[in-house]
Amino acid sequence: GAGVSQSPRYKVAKRGQDVALRCDPISGHVSLFWYQQALGQGPEFLTYFQNEAQLDKSGLPSDRFFAERPEGSVSTLKIQRTQQEDSAVYLCASSPPGQGNTGELFFGEGSRLTVL
Amino acid sequence: AQSVAQPEDQVNVAEGNPLTVKCTYSVSGNPYLFWYVQYPNRGLQFLLKYITGDNLVKGSYGFEAEFNKSQTSFHLKKPSALVSDSALYFCAVRDSRGGGYQKVTFGTGTKLQVIP
């Protein structure tokens, strides 16, 4: 596709359920980032992949959060045993080779998670 | 630790007037600085960046930003505001040291309202 694609756009989960959020980056983009954006806040870094390698997961808030990118393209962010404080928009961004640090990030439209 | 401050939650400006959205940053080394814009229910969209060189950076849609090292600021400006500029604006920073990957930190955002 032309841009970063995220699915689902909206997800409602009951507390305790597991959820999986998918990100399909722009073809050829090596770097992939996940951010969490709570209502009225800026994006907060969760994790970073370079190809299939997860180089930084320091932003994942707990061991309930897990991300993978097994073939270096599509990535999945999984949240186990969801809690109400997990309610947020989860943004995925990708960046082409050589631009991951100094260039622009291309963001998807986000997956809005609401935990009841 | 690096951080970004956007002191104004909202900026109101009349159409046709100049606009400024303020940003200050804190980083240990030299900064790489970015501005992004977010329209309702959309992902973030890159506007411009400062890496090195000229302190005045020009970006998309007529926006520009001025890097001021002594004041650790990177204010976003536009000479003549349009109603269509109304959106949420995010400033972001990363440390230039160390090469390779380092994560980008975002501010909390400033809502720009351009009044017809």
Region at B40 (left for phi over 0; alpha for psi -120 to 50; beta for the rest):
beta
HSE-up (13 A, CA, CB side) for residue A32: 32
Q: Quote the CA–CA distance of B114 and B6 in Å, as a whole number.
A: 18
What pLDDT, on the 0 to 100 scale, is given for residue A75? 98
Which amino acid does the sequence have at A62? S
User: Residue B52 — very low, low, confident or very high, per pLDDT cuts 50/70/90?
Assistant: confident
Q: What is the DSSP string of B42-86?
A: S-EEEEEEE-SS-SEEE-GGG-EEEEETTTTEEEEEESS--GGG-
> A49 CB near a chain B CB, below 8 Å?
no
> A66 CB near a chain B CB, below 8 Å?
no
Which amino acid does the sequence have at A114? T
Averaged pLDDT for residues A82-106: 85
Q: Quote the CA–CA distance of B23 and A104 in Å, as a whole number.
A: 18
Q: Quote the CA–CA distance of B63 and B44 in Å, as a whole number.
A: 16
- The mean predicted confidence, pLDDT, of chain B is 92
Averaged pLDDT for residues A13-19: 97
Averaged pLDDT for residues B94-114: 84
Strand, helix or coil for residue A77 = strand
User: Residue A101 — very low, low, confident or very high, per pLDDT cuts 50/70/90?
Assistant: low
What number of other Cβ atoms are within 10 A of residue A29's Cβ?
A: 20
User: Residue B30 — very low, low, confident or very high, per pLDDT cuts 50/70/90?
Assistant: confident
Does the structure show a pLDDT above 70 at B34? yes
Are the CB atoms for A24 and A89 separated by under 8 Å? no
Subunit contact B101:A109, Cβ cutoff 8 A: no
Minimum distance, in Å, between the CA of residue B56 and any CA atom of chain A? 17
Taking chain B, what is the end-to-end CA distance rounded to the nearest angstrom?
41
Q: What is the DSSP string of A3-28?
A: S-EEE-SEEEE-TT--EEEEEE--TT
Subunit contact B32:A102, Cβ cutoff 8 A: yes
**Residue A46 corresponds to which tokens in the numbers above?**
């969760």
> Which residue in A has a C-alpha nearest to residue B43's C-alpha?
A109
Averaged pLDDT for residues A80-95: 95
Mutate to test the interface with A, among B3, B96, B104 (most CBs of A within 10 A): B104
> A91 CB near a chain B CB, below 8 Å?
yes
What pLDDT, on the 0 to 100 scale, is given for residue A2? 80
> Which residue in B has a C-alpha nearest to residue A92's C-alpha?
B43
